Amino acid sequence: MQEWHLLQHNWGWVIMLKVESIHYGIVIDHITQGKGKKIFDKLNLGEADFPVVLLRNVVSSKFGKKDIIKIENRIDIDMTMLGLIDPNVTINIVEDEKTIKKMKVEIPKEVQGLFKCKNPRCISNAEDNINPLFTLVKANGTIEYSCEYCEELTSYTL
């Protein structure tokens, strides 16, 4: 099956792009326009050996324009950090070309590997190969995580 996506060019032209719909995999939809590349990079999809496509500036009735990522043949990708990059995202799990599960993302309670501890006196910034676990302590207004080693709060801006 094929899907057609409307793409709006900077100069105002609207063009149609033909993309194969996926048989089995993940569609990350409703990505805020411009954040698709960041998610693509954070999920390390540039290194993937399975089919993956990033669609940017797709016309959306709800958001005006949005980005979409389609991942074929894999559903076991850890996407917990997506809530920190873009809380608007919807994750669709597809099997036999049908969406069998639709999930909204949340701000993760724990994160690892997404950012470093801001405390220059923290051991995690002094020795190699230390990847601290951060635990969410505040999600109202600013999002703040506590480092498992020094407990300093590191703010994360969406």
Partner 1 sequence: MNLKGRHLIDPGDFSLLELESIFRLAEKIIENKDEYSQICKEKILGTLFYEPSTRTRLSFETAMLRMGGKVLGFSDANVSSAAKGENIADTIRVLSAYADVVVIRHPKEGAPRLASKYSNIPVINGGDGGHQHPTQTLTDLLTIKRLKGSISGNTVGFCGDLKFGRTVHSLIKTLSRYPDNKFILVSPEELRLPDHLRHMLKNVAQVEIIETEDLETVIGSLDILYMTRIQKERFFNEADYVRLKDSYILTRNKLSEAKEDMLVMHPLPRVNEISYDVDEDDRAAYFKQAEFGVYARMALIAAQLGVGNNA
Binding interface with partner 1 (CB under 8 A): 119, 121-124, 126-130, 132, 137-138, 146-153
3 vs 152, which CB is nearer to partner 1? Answer: 152
CB of 69 vs partner 1, minimal distance in Å: 35
21 vs 155, which CB is nearer to partner 1? Answer: 155
Phi, then psi, of 46 in degrees rounded to 5: -65, -25
CB of 36 vs partner 1, minimal distance in Å: 34
Residue 7 pairs with which residues in a beta bridge?
A: 15, 58
87: left (phi over 0), alpha (psi -120 to 50) or beta: alpha
CB of 80 vs partner 1, minimal distance in Å: 22
78 vs 128, which CB is nearer to partner 1? Answer: 128
C-alpha 120 chain-centroid distance: 28
CB of 158 vs partner 1, minimal distance in Å: 20
Q: Which of 63, 109, 52, 122 is nearest to 88 (CA)?
A: 63
